[in-house]
């Protein structure tokens, strides 16, 4: 199947997809959409940037639109459960975008803001409810929402639910769903707890796995820069002197670290803001909107906050701190090279992070290219890494350093 029209989508959906400039589905969409349209359960092992949201949004809109029944107050027909506020908002925007030529009603509910407007929207009646677990359970407990009419249930980013401690809440929600329903289960990785959950809630599911777990996007050019911890901020500022680094997401390991890096970049004349769990919902949304609009050149984020960032024209991802969970590296660098574009992922590695780099390279089954020709290169850390690779026969051999003076980004 080479076009969206081959997938059996209705004319209003095809018009909306075409208006967004898309004609060819991603492999994930090409596999998932026909099975969702047939009301089959789906297990999608889908990493970021694979078109996962449209893979369930489009066929859900079609299935729900085939009924002439009006939505009942407080009784949605479809539920999408997602771990973060930002991701919930992004999914809600997808329903608005692709359902623009259809008569469909949806709303998004999440914590951190007043529940009044959300309750009013649910009372008016919606076909689709997009929710984070905590606020959903809260409104269910108050009697504003009943799940007894749910026909389609989507659990999105199940592994992140586990990481954030939401699995118990997910099980509470699932217990309130009708046994006769369609379930769509998406996760970038399948640790044992997630595999067990999938086995419990899916029935005769079609498994869709576009690329092996923990591999990275082919179009992302990855480089590692060995640098002393105390020199990282100056190195980051040096990188932003390159005009081709026009829009970057900078990852830190902690919330306080994100604040410090964003403040430092702003002091150096690089328009920046931080996004993390301690920020208010309004502040997070404002930062995302400013970044999308291009008024921010750098968005500094922690891993949890990053899941709601779905922006096509991010030129660079910079790992100011390497993650201590290798799979997080995969998620991070997937924020660039989206929608067919190329992208650059640059990772700073200090002496304490050498073991993290080794774990990342083992996970992605390749060496990350070393960029040694920068002003803050630390050869001692490079030798530490080389020694750790030699002591691990399964690790891939290191590649040579590039010849250019600065890591260069590609124009979009």
Let me know whether 91 and 180 are in one domain.
yes
- The answer to whether position 215 is within a domain reads no
Let me know whether 195 and 312 are in one domain.
no
Let me know whether 50 and 121 are in one domain.
yes
What is the domain-level CATH number for residue 245? 3.40.50.300
Provide the domain limits for residue 200: 4-209
- The answer to whether position 89 is within a domain reads yes
Let me know whether 173 and 139 are in one domain.
yes
Let me know whether 228 and 85 are in one domain.
no
Mean pLDDT over 185-213 rounds to 87
pLDDT at 409 > cutoff 60: no
- Identity of the highest mean pLDDT range in 44-53, 284-293, 369-378, 395-404: 369-378
Q: pLDDT tens digits for 101-130?
A: 998 899 999 998 899 999 999 999 999 999
- The answer to whether position 22 is within a domain reads yes
Predicted local distance difference test score (pLDDT) of residue 218? 61
Q: Is pLDDT larger for residue 110 or for residue 364?
A: 110
Predicted local distance difference test score (pLDDT) of residue 411? 30
Residue where a domain terminates, one of 209, 233, 268: 209
| pLDDT band (50, 70, 90) for residue 15 | very high
- The answer to whether position 348 is within a domain reads yes
Predicted local distance difference test score (pLDDT) of residue 389? 62
The 3 state secondary structure assigned to the chain is CCCHHHHCCCHHHHHHHHHCCCCCCCHHHHHHHHHHHCCCCEEEECCCCCCHHHHHHHHHHHHHHCCCCCCECCECCEEEECCCHHHHHHHHHHHHHHCCCCCCCEEEECCCCCCHHHHHHHHHCCCEEEECHHHHHHHHHCCCCCCCCCCEEEECCHHHHHHCCCHHHHHHHHHCCCCCCEEEEEECCCCHHHHHHHHHHCCCCEEEECCCCCCCCCCEEEEEEECCHHHHHHHHHHHCCCCCCCCEEEECCCHHHHHHHHHHHHHCCCCEEEECCCCCHHHHHHHHHHHHHCCCCEEEECHHHHCCCCCCCCCEEEECCCCCCHHHHHHHHCCCCCCCCCEEEEEEECHHHHHHHHHHHHHHCCCCEECCCCCCCCHHHHHHHHHHHHCCCCCCCCCCCCCCCCCCCCCC
Predicted local distance difference test score (pLDDT) of residue 49? 60
Predicted local distance difference test score (pLDDT) of residue 152? 98
Mean pLDDT over 22-31 rounds to 88
Let me know whether 272 and 345 are in one domain.
yes
Q: pLDDT tens digits for 240-253?
A: 999 989 899 999 98
pTM of the model: 0.63
Mean pLDDT over 284-309 rounds to 84
Predicted local distance difference test score (pLDDT) of residue 159? 87
Q: Is pLDDT larger for residue 405 or for residue 28?
A: 28
- The answer to whether position 405 is within a domain reads no
- The answer to whether position 399 is within a domain reads no
| pLDDT band (50, 70, 90) for residue 306 | low
pLDDT at 399 > cutoff 60: no
Number of structural domains the chain divides into: 2
Let me know whether 229 and 142 are in one domain.
no
- The answer to whether position 400 is within a domain reads no
Predicted local distance difference test score (pLDDT) of residue 61? 97
Let me know whether 179 and 263 are in one domain.
no
Let me know whether 203 and 229 are in one domain.
no
Predicted local distance difference test score (pLDDT) of residue 73? 96
Predicted local distance difference test score (pLDDT) of residue 86? 78
Question: How confident is the prediction for the chain on average, in pLDDT?
Answer: 87
Let me know whether 126 and 185 are in one domain.
yes
Mean pLDDT over 12-36 rounds to 90
pLDDT at 391 > cutoff 60: no
- The answer to whether position 314 is within a domain reads yes
Let me know whether 190 and 257 are in one domain.
no
Let me know whether 104 and 149 are in one domain.
yes
Mean pLDDT over 342-351 rounds to 92
Predicted local distance difference test score (pLDDT) of residue 395? 41
């Amino acid at each position: 199947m080479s076009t969206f029209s081959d997938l059996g989508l209705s004319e209003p959906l095809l018009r909306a997809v075409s208006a967004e400039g898309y004609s060819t589905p991603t492999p994930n969409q090409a596999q998932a959409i026909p099975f969702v349209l047939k009301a089959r359960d789906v297990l999608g092992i889908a990493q970021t940037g694979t078109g996962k949201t449209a893979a369930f949004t489009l066929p859900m809109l079609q299935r729900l639109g085939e009924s002439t029944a009006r939505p009942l107050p407080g009784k949605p027909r479809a539920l999408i459960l997602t771990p973060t506020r930002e991701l919930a908002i992004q999914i809600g925007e997808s329903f608005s975008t692709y359902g623009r030529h259809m008569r469909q009603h949806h709303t998004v509910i999440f914590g951190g803001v007043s529940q009044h407007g959300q309750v009013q929207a649910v009372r008016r009646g919606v076909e689709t409810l997009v929710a984070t677990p905590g606020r959903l359970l809260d409104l269910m407990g108050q009697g504003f929402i009943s799940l007894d009419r749910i026909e389609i249930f989507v659990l999105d980013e199940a592994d992140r639910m586990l990481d954030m401690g939401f699995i118990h809440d997910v099980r509470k929600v699932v217990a309130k769903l009708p046994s006769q329903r369609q379930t769509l289960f998406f996760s970038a990785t399948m640790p044992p707890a997630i595999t067990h959950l999938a086995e419990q809630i899916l029935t005769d599911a079609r498994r869709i796995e576009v690329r092996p777990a923990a591999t990275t996007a082919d179009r992302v050019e990855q480089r590692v820069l060995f640098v002393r911890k105390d020199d990282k901020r100056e190195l980051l500022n040096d990188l932003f002197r390159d005009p081709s680094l026009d829009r970057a997401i900078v990852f830190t390991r902690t919330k306080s670290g994100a604040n410090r890096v964003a403040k430092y970049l702003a002091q150096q004349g690089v328009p920046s803001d931080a996004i993390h769990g301690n920020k208010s919902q309004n502040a997070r949304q404002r930062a995302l909107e400013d970044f999308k609009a291009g008024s921010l050149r750098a968005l500094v984020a922690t891993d949890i906050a990053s899941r709601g960032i779905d922006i096509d024209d991010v030129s660079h991802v910079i790992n100011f701190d390497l993650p201590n969970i290798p799979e997080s590296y995969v998620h991070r660098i997937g924020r660039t090279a989206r929608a067919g574009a190329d992208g650059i992922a640059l990772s700073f590695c200090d002496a304490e992070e050498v073991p993290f780099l080794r774990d990342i390279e083992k996970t992605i089954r390749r060496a990350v290219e070393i960029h040694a020709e920068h002003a803050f290169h630390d050869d001692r850390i490079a030798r530490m890494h080389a020694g750790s690779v030699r002591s691990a026969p399964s690790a891939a051999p290191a590649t040579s350093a590039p010849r250019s003076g600065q890591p260069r980004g590609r124009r979009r």
